[in-house]
A and B are shown apart, each in its own frame.
Chain A
Amino acid sequence: MDKFLFGCKSAIPIAFGYIPMGIGYAALALKAGFNPFQTVSFSVLVYAGAGEIIAATMLANGATALAIILTNFVVNLRYMVMNTAIYNKMSENSLLTNILTAHLVTDESFAIFSFENESSVWFYSGLSITSWLSWILGAAIGVFVLDFLPEIVTNSFNISLYALFIAILVPAVKHNKRLGLLVVITALLNVILQFVVGNWSLIISTLLGAFIGMYIVDDEDMIEGAD
């Protein structure tokens, strides 16, 4: 129980990011045509900030359901790698607790669990359940308050996920120039491919970028993964 509570406590920095981000996501989802119930359900069932925001953005831009779902698959495939690392590290776990916690991996819960000197399944449960609830809470606050907020504020919330993406990328790029080069190449690929393949450019440039990265990014800098 102590370990569970320690996990909850370790999720506080995550919650500080997730709640405003969740509000930002809700603003985009509502704008894209989700109703409030769908907006919150999406956060409960998918629980992947980037995937959700991409889905909402693609929908707003007129993408097909198939393109949106395939893009989510590609963008969220990294959780397979992260969960492999998590369950390799985790102690006191069982098949049942693995299955129950499988849904709760994110870049942030993975990063904290990886760098913490604690490997108990109870610690991870506290950490990941608190993070999940804060993400849902953000979306719920979003659908509730966005009606009352002036357009200036809701428009400003649109930036929050991009701010988070940039805040995650900058330290990694600062640390590794070749990764920075790869980020620029991928961004340019995505801009160019949009004129050729429209909404599919996100998946294609993501995969093509990672493929190019295998040859230009040094192995030793990749250990930390996505945090």
Chain B
Amino acid sequence: MVDINIIILGCALVTFIPRLIPAIFVDKLNFGPKVEKFLNLIPYTALAALICPGVLTVDNQLWYIGLVGAIVAAGLSWKKVPLGAIVILTVVVLVTVYSIVPMF
């Protein structure tokens, strides 16, 4: 069994260090344009990897629940609905889907 406290402290440490470095060395840090582009791309590629295939495991039994949620969120986002509203509306749609589809 994995020790959750170690995960918490480990993640806290490895997240804080990159945040702290520029706070101290702001005048001295200068990434080349290539490194900067690479680092700027990471959020997008990380999100892509997070969503796919993870979104299909939102419900362990019904894979399409996550797909429905993803399509709803993407559609709302395409229509420029604000972030907070997208999150709430997608949850509401899934509650509705669940009340139609019998759960096992």
* Interfacial residues of chain A within 33-82, with CB under 8 A of chain B in the complex: 33-35, 38, 41-42, 45-48, 50-55, 57, 59, 63-65, 68-70, 72-81
Chain B, range 1-56, C-beta contacts under 8 Å to A: 2-12, 14-16, 18-24, 26, 29, 31, 33-34, 36-55
Tell me which residues across on chain A come within 8 A of B22, comparing CB atoms: 80, 83-84, 86-87, 102
B42: chain A residues within 8 A (beta carbon): 74-75, 77-78, 206-207, 210
Q: What DSSP secondary structure best describes chain B's contact surface?
A: helix
0 or 1 for each of A137-176: is its CB under 8 Å from B? (1 = yes): 0000000000000011101111110111111111110100
Chain B: interface residue count, which band? Answer: 35 or more
Knowing A187-B52, A226-B40, the reply to whether A171 touches B10 (Cβ < 8 A) is no
Residues of B within 8 A of A171 (CB): 77, 80
Q: How far is the CB of B51 from chain A (nearest CB, A)?
A: 5
**Contact, CB under 8 Å: A209 / B41:** yes
**Docked-complex contact A46 and B47, CB < 8 angstroms:** no
User: A83-B19, A99-B20, A214-B34 are contacts. A162–B73 as well, Cβ < 8 Å?
Assistant: yes
**Are B54's CB and A57's CB within 8 A?**
yes
Q: How far is the CA of A166 from the CA of B1 in the complex (A)?
A: 32
Chain B hits for A48, CB < 8 A: 15
Choose among B29, B45, B98 the residue that contacts A156 (Cβ–Cβ < 8 A). Answer: B98
In the assembly, what is the distance between CA of A72 and CA of B24, in Å? 22
Cα separation A168 to B74 with both chains bound (whole Å) = 9
Contact B49 A206 (CB under 8 A): yes
Q: Known interface pairs A160-B90, A225-B40. Does A79 touch B23 (Cβ–Cβ under 8 Å)?
A: no
9 A-B interface contacts by CB (under 8 A): A81-B39, A102-B16, A163-B70, A164-B73, A164-B87, A165-B51, A166-B86, A187-B51, A205-B48
